[in-house]
Amino acid sequence: MTPYRIAPSILSADFTRLGEEVRNVITAGADLIHFDVMDNHYVPNLTFGAMICAALRPHTSVPIDVHLMVEPVDEMIKQFAQAGADIITFHPEASRHVHRSLSLIKDAGKQAGLVLNPATPIHVLEDVLPYLDMVLLMSVNPGFGGQTFIPNTLDKIRRTRALLDEYTQQSGRHIALEVDGGIKTNNIAEVAAAGADTFVAGSAIFGADDYGRVIKEMRANLAQISA
Ligand code: DX5
Ligand code: ZN
């Protein structure tokens, strides 16, 4: 049975009460905290930096999954590694030297991942698979929460899953496959069936009154897939 992970994105949390929001969503069953870093340069929006990550670290008993939507990436990788991130992912278009940026993450002892936009082809993964712990497929264009899931992503998830399975067979190493954008209780099972194992959900969870109920419903829908 696939160990599915649910990663609430605090992009949709109440920023006036971030520590409490993180604690509440962990109590509600979050497996990871997804931390969306936007710079108004790589994406047309601005969120939070490494100081906020460091401030939240003591409130966070699960891994922090930092999604860097910044350009350039290397300095931010160093700052977030220092701030207590556990997983650091970035967009290959935002790094002049993707291998160097991945090595920076690995050398800091963190898990590394690449994020592919809806129009980014999966072949960018092929030559760096040994450096990857996670692949993050965007199912919306990055920059904003609350967008609609792009249906073509399902086929891309299937193709990425096949590539990663082939790599696991050769190497014995597992690489997580995360999907981000527009994931709700009513489509999470489809996304899992296509081959994803880690699910970012921002507005679906933080937009609800009862975070635990949404996470529970997501898990119930996921359980039907692996049954
Ligand atoms: C978009 C972010 C997502 C976003 C997901 O650039 O990377 O993590 O918060 O939000 P929802 O789940 O609302 O689509
Ligand atoms: Zn994200």
Tens digit of pLDDT at every position of the chain (227 positions): 569 999 999 999 999 999 999 999 999 999 999 999 999 999 999 999 999 999 999 999 999 999 999 999 999 999 999 999 999 999 999 999 999 999 999 999 999 999 999 999 999 999 999 999 999 999 999 999 999 999 999 999 999 999 999 999 999 999 999 999 999 999 999 999 999 999 999 999 999 999 999 999 999 999 998 65
Is residue 158 within 8 Å of residue 190, measured between CB atoms?
A: no
Active-site residue, selected from the candidate residues 39, 65, 180, 197: 180
Alpha-carbon gap, residue 79 to 16, rounded angstroms: 23
Does residue 36 have its Cβ closer than 6 Å to ligand 1? yes
Residue extents of the structural domains in the chain: 5-226
Alpha-carbon gap, residue 221 to 187, rounded angstroms: 9
Residue 197 annotated to the active site: no
Q: What is the dotted CATH code of the domain comprising 5-226?
A: 3.20.20.70
How many whole angstroms from its chain centre is CA 202? Answer: 11
Alpha-carbon gap, residue 28 to 216, rounded angstroms: 8
To test the pocket of ligand 1, the residue of 21, 32, 36 to mutate (highest count of ligand atoms within 8 Å of its CB) is: 36
Ligand nearest to the CA of 181: 1
Is residue 32 within 8 Å of residue 202, measured between CB atoms?
A: no
DSSP-H helix ranges across 1-125: 18-27, 50-56, 74-82, 98-107
Q: What is the pLDDT of residue 227?
A: 58
Question: Of all atoms in ligand 1, which is nearest to the CA of residue 12?
Answer: 9
Residue list, CB under 5 A from ion ligand 2 = 36, 67, 180
The pair of structure tokens assigned to 141 is 């264009």
Is residue 185 within 8 Å of residue 166, measured between CB atoms?
A: no
Q: What is the pLDDT of residue 226?
A: 66
Does residue 184 have its Cβ closer than 6 Å to ligand 1? no
Residue 180 annotated to the active site: yes
Q: What is the pLDDT of residue 225?
A: 86
Alpha-carbon gap, residue 177 to 179, rounded angstroms: 7
pTM of the entire structure? 0.98
The pair of structure tokens assigned to 32 is 């990871």
CB neighbour burial string for 26-48, b if at least 16 within 10 angstroms, e if fewer? bebbbbbbbbbbbbeebbeeebb
- If one counts every other C-beta atom within 10 angstroms of the C-beta of residue 151, the result is 11
Alpha-carbon gap, residue 184 to 192, rounded angstroms: 12
Contacts of 97 (CB under 8 A, 6+ apart): none
The pair of structure tokens assigned to 217 is 């419903």
